[in-house]
Amino acid sequence: MTTGFHLRAISGFGVKGPACFLLEAGGARLILDLGEGPDAGMRPDLAGVGPVDAILISHGHPDHIGALDLAPGLGGPPVHATAPVRALTDDPRLAHAQDLPLCGQVQVAGLAVETGMAGHAPGAVWMRIGGAGGLLYTGDMSAESTLYPCAPPPPAAALVFDASYGAADDPLADQVAHLLALAATRPLLLPAPAGGRGLEMAIAFAAEGLPVSRCPAHRQVAALLLEHPGALVPGGDEALAGMLAGTAALSADSAAVGVMIAAKPNGDAGLAVDLIARFAQTGEAEIVFTGHLAAGKPAAELVASGRARFARWNVHPRLSGLAALAGHVQPRLAMAAFVEPARAADLAAALPDLPLVGAPELRW
């Protein structure tokens, strides 16, 4: 049995920042995610980390993979990721990564790594490393996803978990209802990640009979996911295929009708750039951002100036979900990740029995 675990948050503790954690156990050294952002310019500081045995990727969003170009400074270790993550990337380091199962167990550097689907995004997984006496790392997680499965994780001695929303507990169903009511009054532009909530949105709005159009990036991701039906909830492949058949292609000069869904989520790239510029000037459609408003990117400035609105669509755990997670894992030590100190304090007050640490390190 592996003993003597040490987990250090290189980045991702005390801030909504890039995921990067160093786990040392049994003589092995693993990096868990190597991200960039979401705020502009945020990257992990790997000074002094030294060579590691492997990099394990929880999912393919930039704040978890965007700094993989730093891997040579870690000794150029092998990267492990799930098949959907590898299929959806344009990063050759990730495209040729070693397999991490969606649900199963592998050995990495002599450590047992168990995985299960984590909702949130295509191919996202939680990881238990070192068995019941080891670490449960959630990456980003959402049990409310209607497209990406989320399996309850097993017990572990230590837990590093997605606490992005702090103690907020608004259910996704209420948020969807709010957006549906808004869409009934005027056309909406929803900048969203194609490899995330954007596809869920398209399915949900189309199911309510609203005219929906989606950008080429969303169509591309949907088509690739149809090749990985095991990464979707039961019936998810049929829902995706139906959405593709029943929604329109979106372009920069499309008429402002119904619900328009375009990458990318902060309006700094993709088709969303052109459509935001157009609608912010003409008022043909209301611009609604539904995720983290990253500092230094257009979304935050547009909302602050009143030219767009914010209405959350949950892709991270709400409070009741975190309580359920703690019940499944039953950790002796827990670290709240991807959350600012004030929200972390709210979470600690709301879950007083969760053994949260106030420092970026765990030893057990």
Q: Give the pLDDT mean for 67-73.
A: 97
Q: Are 319 and 350 in contact (CB under 8 A)?
A: yes
Return the residue matching tokens 């970026």.
360
pLDDT at 1: 65
Whether residue 264 is preceded by a cis peptide bond, meaning omega within 30 degrees of 0, is: yes
Return the residue matching tokens 């050759």.
92
Give the up-direction half-sphere exposure of residue 60: CA atoms within 13 A in the CB hemisphere.
25
Structure tokens at 218: 């969303």
Name which of 176, 127, 119 is nearest 25 in CA terms: 127
d(CA 278, CA 252): 8
Residue 166 — very low, low, confident or very high, per pLDDT cuts 50/70/90?
very high
Q: Is 357 exposed, middle or buried (0-12, 13-18, 19+ CB in 10 A)?
A: middle
C-alpha dihedral sign at 200, 290, 120, 109: positive
Q: Give the pLDDT mean for 119-124.
A: 98
pLDDT at 6: 98
Please determine, for residue 102, whether its predicted confidence score (pLDDT) is greater than 80.
yes
d(CA 167, CA 112): 32
pLDDT tens track for 315-348: 999 999 999 999 999 999 999 999 999 999 999 9
**Domain 172-310 indexed as CATH 3.10.110.10:** no
d(CA 24, CA 31): 9
Name which of 263, 266, 318, 262 is nearest 292 in CA terms: 266
Dihedral-angle region of residue 58 (phi above 0 means left; psi in -120 to 50 means alpha; beta otherwise): alpha
- The fourth-level CATH superfamily of domain 6-167+316-363 is Ribonuclease Z/Hydroxyacylglutathione hydrolase-like (3.60.15.10)
- The pLDDT mean for the chain works out to 97
The reported pTM is: 0.97
The torsion defined by the Cα of 360, 165, 37 and 311, in degrees rounded to 10, comes to: -170
d(CA 319, CA 351): 9
Residue 151 — very low, low, confident or very high, per pLDDT cuts 50/70/90?
very high
β-bridge partners, 117? 125
Structure tokens at 262: 């375009």
**From residue 189, how far is each of 226, 297, 305 by CA, in Å?**
25, 17, 17
CB atoms within 10 A of CB 330: 14
d(CA 236, CA 149): 10
pLDDT at 3: 75
Domain ranges of the chain: 6-167+316-363, 172-310
Q: What is the CA radius of gyration of the chain?
A: 20
CB atoms within 10 A of CB 323: 15
d(CA 135, CA 133): 7
Q: Are 232 and 276 in contact (CB under 8 A)?
A: no
Please determine, for residue 221, whether its predicted confidence score (pLDDT) is greater than 70.
yes
Residue 2 — very low, low, confident or very high, per pLDDT cuts 50/70/90?
confident
pLDDT tens track for 199-216: 999 999 999 999 999 999
β-bridge partners, 105? 114
Please determine, for residue 231, whether its predicted confidence score (pLDDT) is greater than 80.
yes
Q: By three-state DSSP, how is residue 221 classified?
A: helix
Q: Give the pLDDT mean for 27-43.
A: 96
Q: Helices marked H in the chain — which ranges?
A: 62-65, 83-88, 92-95, 172-183, 197-207, 216-225, 236-246, 271-282, 298-304, 319-329, 341-350
Q: Which amino acid appears at position 228 of this protein? A: H
pLDDT at 253: 97
d(CA 93, CA 6): 27
